[in-house]
Every structure is written in structure tokens, then in C-alpha cells.
Structure 1
């Protein structure tokens, strides 16, 4: 975006020494304009000629990526759906169970730069196939851990981060190389629908599979089989599009990767990337703690209100709140992502800074509603659910927009690295620590926690 007089966000798209980002326009989400020197937006036939893929095949690739993203988040939150049972089985408290999510996120965060580096330089399809196969195998193994080996559950949840890091850093860059302009924004919104929907399905699958099987271990055996299907679909359907080709001038030479240190320097000097990543870190902090602890919090709220008996050692804990919270997460995710993309698209006509403004409004607006859900929990479970619904809807407005910002302010040959370091930053300061901190804070300094109200 160097040289453009209508920079869409905060700064030029990348390091000035790189020159302008190929095809990056003055307005976000619009790959090209009538300005001299900027490429025109390819039509359907043009995209097919550039990528070597028909529109139907491109859409099918996005569908496969969406399925895997849904499975990714479903696996992540299946554990949260049966968290009270895990606490009972391993005889652990809130601080220890909070570590389950923290260990996973920490592993995911550390490995993301590795796969970001590889994804900018090697075949992305095969990297994802290997990572997802490993993740499925480890998840299956975690369902056979005996009760005296809680540390082994932590280890396996950490290893799951290998597969998720291999996917999350790479998949959005494939979409960026298949579509441009509003097409890209729409496909990204479909892709990011899978995050809240998959998270919600994780709670639902965890709670319902446990109820049907009578054993929470079976909840961890659902996603590995679906992971095998994902690997087969990746291998058979997905084809590697040329990096950045849809954004180049027809007479421009292909972009070549720069060194990893050059990539890092350029990203560090890109305020649009760094500040949007810091904003997304706040989203990750909130959603990470909310995702792990909301079902347990709602169960204890019902105990305080006298609507359900407490979860005692040896008993199967009520899973109704995991089911309801999962449904809410699915619905608010679809609603929030769709609202965010549509509001931003309309506002962009009059304000080129629409994307960051919509993200900020969603995050700030969620805070009072989430606070009210806490304040109302000891008086009305219905009010608590209503305020969580509104708060989660506003938070979900960020998902697709932040991803779109990254893609149009970073050049194609370092997008996987940018995805990786956004993951590192948002998890390091966000949801790597927030579940553990909330669990630690729920335990009294002296003596055991004796009431659900505490």
C-alpha cells in the first residue's frame, strides 16, 4: 500500500523496501482499482487462468478447508464440554484443569512460527496432511490415559498443538491465493464461521457422546475418525495454487521468498499488522477463558439457584449447560461473523478504516454484556444466557475481519509467517494464560472451595 493516498488502515502494507504490495488497493477488501499502476480485478475466467483451477474446484477447496477448521475447533473444545467429568476422574481442581487449555495453546503458539516458515516455502497441502494425521493420532491416544497419569493428558494435549499449528497458519493463505476482492472476504467469512460453529459442536459432541456412551473418554474418540476423513479430502481435493499470482500485474515477475529475518523485520515495521494483532490478542484472552470455563460456571450457577444438584465425586456431572452453551456458541458465531463482514462492507463505502473500527466496536461492546452475565448468574440463569449470547455475538464480529486485514497488509510470500506470529502474540498474551488465571482465581488462598457460589 506504499504510494497509495487512501491507505485503508494505519500504514503501508509492508516494509517500504519491498515496494507496494502487488494488487493491494486503496480500500480494504478490494483488490484493484482504476488507478494507474494497479492491476484490475480478475474476472472468473481470469482467476481460472491464473490459478489453474475452475471456480467449482476453488469453492470445493474452501469447503474442505472449512470442514477441517470446524473439526479443528470441535476437537479443541470437546474437552471443555466434559471438563467437570475430567476434574472428577483425575481428582484435580480448577487451577490444574485450567492447565489443560494452557498447555495446548502454549504448544500451538510455539509451533506456529515453524509451520509459518515452512508454509511460505514448501507445499502447503502436504504440510497440512501430515499435521492433521498426527493430531488425530494423539487425540485418540489421550482418551486411554489412566486416572493416575494426569501429566500424560497434559502432554498429549500439548502434542495436539502440532497438528493445529500446521493447519491454522497455512489454510487462510490458500484462500488468499484463490480469490480476490469481495470474493475473498466472503470466502474468509465462510471459513471463519467454522470457528464458533466448531467450538459449539465441540461442547455438544462432548456432552452428548458422554451421555450416550456413559463415559467421557468416548468424547475424545469422535474427532480422530473425522480427522482421517479430513486427510483424505485434503489429499484428493486440494491443489496448491501459485502464491500471490491473483494479485500480480500480468507482466510482473513472480514474488520470491525473502529470508526469515527479513520477514520478521518487515512485519515488525508494519503497524497495521502489529496493532490489529494486539487488538486480536484481547479477543483471544476473553474467548479463551470464556470457552473453557463458561459451561462449568453455568453449572455452578444452577447449583447456587437450586436448579440442579452439585457434581459429587463418583457421579456423572450434568451436561445440559455444555449443550446449551454449545448451541449458543454456534448461533452467535454465525450471526457475529456475518454481521461483522456485512457491516464492514457497507461502512467501507464511506470510511476506508471500516474494518478496524468494526472490530473495535465489537470488542468494546461485548465487555458490559459479559460483565452483566457474571453479575446476574446468582439471580437468573436465563438473564445470564441472554447476556452471554449478546457478548459472544459482538466478540465474533472480529474473526473474519482481522484475517482479512492481515491478508491485505502483508505480501503473499510472508503471509504464513504473519499468520504464525499473530497466533504467537494473541496466544502468548491471550488465551495461553487466561484459562489458567481464571482457574487459579476461582480457588481460595486458604482452604478448599466449599461452595458453588465461591
Structure 2
């Protein structure tokens, strides 16, 4: 049963990773707004590298320790995923910042694709999958060192203030209240949660759904043992990596062009991408009944549109949140998107599919249809995300003006600020 399969994954490495990431992200958001970000960023990468390398020596009888290591890896990843965008935000502005954030975010699918290729190649050469966990830590150590040496110690708000510094930061509670009252931030965070919901559910179930479609079409045998749809998982993974790269590029380019037409370009481009993605996500379930190739084409277009808002959403946050709250804002947005998104969506889809399938006699056709009906929840959530981006567009200009006004009022004479990256840790 699909319901039992996700429940069995509650203590799996990916689930533990997401949960630990959710817990750690707000902590690093708090630290990132108050202490030296470059040191926190480098230490997080060093910690992630050390834990990943150490986990490669864990044997099968200590699987629980391997699961624990995935949780620690989540803590390391939370440290740099919440802080890195804020450093970029303080080094660049306007279209240049959008471009740099795009470079940062398309490194995610690029790294994922290289990870699949490198991990598979290393496993084949070494004859042991553990060696795949010993390559990336080396790259992590090199990256952390390069950050310490070459990344400039940008002051918070440096790009907007042309070198001026900001007043002492406010309390964490006051920061949280300000973020909750920021309507553009709240709506864009809810939209991000919709993206996370869809990507988490589709990533878990689409390969199995396509395998069942092939069983119904009599082009594949019924799966009797897990995992099922391995080939479809590889194809779907490759498509996801490439569309992530393409989506970020497309979104950034479309936003740059639309800014010449309207000041609300950022949330509007995101909304159009989400609504377009919902259409092609629906078409996946229509095409899969007769053509697997057609389904993959719909997946390609749908995911490209869905991923087009990655960098733009981060740019929206930079516009509407003042510099001394950005790390907290990124962390809270990450927490919310996982909590309302991919932390629960795979299990919800499995639960709904089981409820539908139990209503009639089991058959390959009904297994295929029940999972498809459950997955139809995803495009509806994506449409909801598009609505949230449209709501963001309503308040974007006023919230951006408030953030700029607040930042301007905090300008002080250069030299006496505790927001410098030279602040002691």
C-alpha cells in the first residue's frame, strides 16, 4: 500500500534530513543577521563536509547512525542555504542581483546532475557506493576555504546604501513580527510552499505513476518488489536537473525584460510561471494514458515553468525585507516551505491514493488511476501558489517602498556600526 510505504519512510534519511533542516534554519537565520556571515557560511560547509565524509565509513549494522548523520548534514546545509543569498543581496542590486541569484540557484540542479553522474561513476570504478560520499566532501572543503579567502566581507545593506552602514539590529521577536506583517513576504512564502509541495509529491510518485502507466499499456511488467520504476526515476531525475537549470535562466531573463514594462514584474512573472505549470502538470495525467513520451514532454515544460521562480522569489525577498532581517526571512521562508510543502506532500498523496484504491477491486488499471487522481492535487496547489504570487503583486510596490524608506532612515555616518561583517563571533 502506498500509505504504508511513506509511513515506513518517516525515519528514512531524506525525512530526517528535511526535519533537521527545518529546525536548524531559523537558528542560522538568527545568527546570520547578527554575526559574521562569512565565518558561519564556511563553518557550515566544513561541518557538512566532515559529516558526509564520516558517514561513508558507517556499516550496515549501524544504519541508525547513518540516519543520524543525514540529520547532521541537514544542519550543515541549513547554515549556508539561509546565509548565502543574503550575502549576494548585499553585494549586488537590481538586475545584477537577479543575475547573481540566478547563478546561485541554477547551481542547485547543476550540482544535483553532477552528483548523480559523479556518484554513479565513482561507485562503478571503486565497486563500493561509500566512495561516492568521499568525493563531495573534498569539494566542500575547497569551497569553504575559497569563501574564507576570497569572498568580500560585505556589510549588511552595503549595496543599497552605497557604503553606508545601518543602525544596530532589532530583537528577534520584533523581526518576526515585522516579517509576519509584511504581506509581500507572507504571500511569496506561501507561494514557495506550493512549489515545494508539488516538487516533493511529484518527485516521490511520478516515476511510479509512469511505470504503472506502462504496465497498463502493456509495455512493462507488473512490479513485484521495491523499488519500482527505476528507469523512470533516472529519466525524471535528469529532466528535473535540466529543467531546474533552464527554469532559473528563463525566469531571470523574463523578469529582466518585464521590468521594462512594469515595476511589478517579479511577482507577475512568478504567477504566470506557476499558472502555466499547473496546466502542463494536468496534461501529464492526460498524456500518460496513451503516451509516455508525451507525459515526459509535459513534465519538461511544467517543471521548467515551475522552477522559473526560484531566483525571482529570493529577489522579491531582498526587495521587501530590510538587510538586517534577511537571513531570518530566508530561514523562516525555508522552514515554512518545507513544513507546508515537501515534508508532508508525499505522504498525503500516498494516503489519498490508498483511500481511492480501496474503494474498488484492485487491478493494474485502478492502481494507475488511483495514484493519478491523488497526484491531481498538485496542479490545484500550484494554481493556489500562482494566486499567492498575484496577491504578492498587489502589495509589492508598497512593501518595497517601506523597506527602502526604513533602510534610508537607518543610514549612519560610516564607521560606527555593529552590522559590519567584522563583528566578532
Normalising TM by the smaller chain, what interval?
A: 0.7 to 0.9
Deviations 1:312-366 (A, max 9, x none): 66x9987543443233223212221122122222222222211111111111211
In structure 1, how many angstroms separate the alpha carbons of the residues matched to 2:7 and 2:285?
20
Deviations 1:206-245 (A, max 9, x none): 5555555555555444433332222232233223212212
Q: Which one of the candidate residues 371, 380, 386 is aligned to 2:282? A: 371
Give the equivalent residue in structure 1 for 2:43: 130
Question: Would you tell me which structure has more helix in proportion to its own residues?
Answer: 2
Give the equivalent residue in structure 2 for 1:256: 168
Report the CA distance shift for 1:325/1:398 in structure 2 as closer, same or farther (over 3 A).
same
In structure 2, how many angstroms separate the alpha carbons of the residues matched to 1:209 and 1:291?
24
Q: Which one of the candidate residues 269, 273, 276 is aligned to 1:362? A: 273
In structure 1, how many angstroms separate the alpha carbons of the residues matched to 2:175 and 2:286?
46
Report the CA distance shift for 1:421/1:220 in structure 2 as closer, same or farther (over 3 A).
same
Judge conservation of contact 2:9–2:15 (CA < 8 Å) in 1. Answer: no
Q: Which one of the candidate residues 136, 150, 174 is aligned to 1:237? A: 150
- C-alpha displacement of 1:384: 1.6
Answering whether residue 271 of structure 2 is matched by residue 271 of structure 1, we say: no
In structure 1, how many angstroms separate the alpha carbons of the residues matched to 2:114 and 2:211?
18
- C-alpha displacement of 1:410: 0.9
Give the equivalent residue in structure 2 for 1:85: none
Give the equivalent residue in structure 2 for 1:169: 82
Answering whether residue 256 of structure 2 is matched by residue 337 of structure 1, we say: no
Give the equivalent residue in structure 1 for 2:294: 383
- C-alpha displacement of 1:174: 0.9
Report the CA distance shift for 1:157/1:441 in structure 2 as closer, same or farther (over 3 A).
farther
Q: Which one of the candidate residues 292, 297, 320 is aligned to 1:409? A: 320
Judge conservation of contact 2:248–2:310 (CA < 8 Å) in 1. Answer: yes
Q: What's the TM-score, normalizing by structure 2?
A: 0.75
Q: What's the TM-score, normalizing by structure 1?
A: 0.70
Report the CA distance shift for 1:127/1:360 in structure 2 as closer, same or farther (over 3 A).
same
Unpaired runs of at least 5, structure 2: 372-425
In structure 2, how many angstroms separate the alpha carbons of the residues matched to 1:300 and 1:218?
33
Judge conservation of contact 1:200–1:325 (CA < 8 Å) in 2. Answer: no
Report the CA distance shift for 1:294/1:160 in structure 2 as closer, same or farther (over 3 A).
farther
Q: Judge which range, 130-139 or 201-210, deviates more.
A: 201-210
Report the CA distance shift for 1:329/1:308 in structure 2 as closer, same or farther (over 3 A).
same
Q: Which one of the candidate residues 182, 192, 197 is aligned to 2:105? A: 192
- C-alpha displacement of 1:156: 2.5
